[in-house]
């Protein structure tokens, strides 16, 4: 069968809800030939929060997942997909060093003559990328060098691979979510007006309104979040909106009470559309811990981001690749000193020039973080591999 009629397989441990629109559009680009192969998350796992029931247009194949030590080691028997749907034109696989079956999948795809693409960030956020000294980085690089295409989350990730991987095999699929509905919601809220949205949500009309969105875990800098807010409220009242849940919530609520911190509201986990009004009503997203797709979410509502250049706490030394979107001094600020005093100073600096920062953040999202741009990179990598 010619390649333009054979399926394109996508293999992942699990498929988070925010990946579904990406795969839907990729399926359209390949004339309905995408087959997404994935399994279930382990019990009591943070991955479970990312999986939602859906009925996408692409074909799905449920594969068994085997997990050891929580989420640390993963195995996924994969031949069921090939038996059901035949030889693919290409295999797109999640680049995960946790998956011990990934090299066997890539080898099997090669034996069938299928093109192979790895999609991910090819590095750890716990240490600097150093394949000459660190065995796990050396392993990840060996897989990257073995395939016909590497779809990197950002330009900086491609730069990490560039000294080792042929340029022709490097592609950038800038990691994002489907921001289209968020842009539309933001425009509708803008028509209502920020003052009216704040009244509706019972947010004080005056004073800074900061928002945090993400899991409440130590790696996200939950202690530093409250310490920084305590410094800011010594000068002027305001509101700190905390969207998300997690194991640190009880300790955070106790700390708010013990320190008599004013203006802190725990909103719990909210769906994307539920979070929109709270984001629009805010002036800045404060994220002391490691940054990820929350950056995209913030920018879609014109929210600049304040964080540390290098996060601290929970063993996390580096942000996820999306930190690249925070252009310090333009779309947000990344301070170099890991103290609450330095972070509070960064917040004040952004708030003093909030209109410019907000416009830059929204413009960056509209120009660079659309779903089309991301799928363009994935499609190019797959067609090159074929």
What angle do the packed helices 340-352 and 222-232 form, to 10 degrees? Answer: 60
Q: What tokens were used for 158? A: 């491609």
Confidence band, pLDDT 50/70/90 cuts, at residue 131:
very high
**Is residue 320 scored above 80 in pLDDT?**
yes
DSSP-derived pairing of the beta strands 90-94 and 149-152: unpaired
Give me the domains of the chain, ranges plus CATH numbers.
3-176+370-385 (3.40.50.2000), 180-368 (3.40.50.2000)
What pLDDT does 48 receive? 57
Share of the chain above pLDDT 90, in %: 87
Integer angstrom CA distances of residue 115 from 29, 46, 109, 320: 17, 32, 7, 28
The pTM of the full predicted model, rounded to 2 decimals, is 0.93
The position carrying tokens 């795809």 is 109
SS3 356: helix
Determine the Cα–Cα distance for residues 339 and 208; give it in Å rounded to an integer. Answer: 20
Distance CA 139, CA 142 (A): 5
Give alpha helix (H) positions in 124-267: 135-146, 155-161, 180-192, 194-200, 222-232, 249-258
| Inter-residue contact 317 to 125 (CB < 8 Å) | yes
User: Among 120-129, 311-320, 325-334, 353-362, which is the least confidently predicted range?
Assistant: 311-320
Helix (H) or strand (E) holding 300: helix 294-300
Mean pLDDT of all residues in 32-45? 88
What's the average model confidence in pLDDT over 70-80?
A: 93
List the structure tokens of 216. 């409440």
C-alpha angle 228-230-231 in degrees, rounded to nearest 5: 65
Which residues does 32 contact at the CB level (< 8 Å), separation at least 6? 57, 58
Q: What is the CA radius of gyration of the chain?
A: 22
């Amino acid at each position: 069968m010619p390649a333009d009629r054979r399926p394109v397989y996508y293999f992942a441990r699990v498929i988070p809800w925010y990946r579904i629109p990406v795969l839907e559009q990729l399926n359209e680009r390949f004339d309905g030939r995408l087959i997404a192969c994935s399994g279930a998350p382990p019990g009591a796992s943070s991955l479970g929060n990312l999986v939602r029931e859906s009925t996408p247009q692409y074909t799905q194949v449920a594969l068994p997942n085997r997990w050891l030590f929580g989420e640390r080691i993963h195995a996924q028997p994969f031949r069921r997909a090939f038996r059901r749907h035949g030889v693919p034109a290409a295999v797109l696989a999640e680049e995960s060093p946790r998956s011990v079956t990934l090299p066997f999948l890539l080898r099997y795809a090669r034996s069938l003559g299928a093109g192979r693409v790895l999609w991910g960030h090819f590095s750890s956020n716990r240490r600097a990328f150093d394949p000459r000294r660190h065995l796990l980085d050396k392993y990840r690089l060996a897989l990257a060098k073995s395939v016909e295409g590497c779809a990197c989350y950002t330009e900086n990730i491609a730069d990490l691979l560039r000294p080792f991987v042929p340029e022709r095999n490097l592609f950038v699929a800038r990691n994002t979510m489907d921001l289209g509905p968020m842009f539309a919601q933001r425009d509708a809220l803008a028509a209502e007006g920020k003052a009216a949205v704040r009244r509706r949500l019972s947010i004080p009309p005056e004073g800074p309104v900061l928002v945090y969105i993400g899991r409440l875990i130590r790696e996200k800098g939950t202690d530093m979040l409250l310490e920084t807010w305590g410094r800011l409220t010594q000068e002027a009242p305001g509101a700190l909106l905390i969207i998300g849940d997690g194991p640190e919530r009880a300790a955070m609520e106790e700390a708010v009470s013990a320190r008599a911190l004013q203006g802190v509201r725990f909103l719990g986990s909210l769906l994307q559309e539920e979070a929109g009004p709270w984001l629009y009503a805010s002036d800045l997203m404060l994220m002391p811990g490691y940054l990820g797709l929350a950056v995209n979410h913030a920018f879609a509502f014109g929210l600049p981001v304040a964080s540390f250049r290098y996060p601290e706490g929970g063993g996390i030394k580096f942000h996820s690749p999306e930190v690249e979107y925070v252009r310090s001094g333009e779309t947000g600020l990344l301070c170099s000193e890991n103290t609450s005093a330095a972070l509070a100073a960064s917040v004040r600096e952004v708030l003093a020039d909030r209109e410019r920062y907000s416009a830059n953040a929204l413009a960056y999202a509209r120009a660079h973080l659309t779903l089309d741009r991301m799928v363009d990179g994935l499609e190019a990598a797959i067609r090159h591999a074929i």
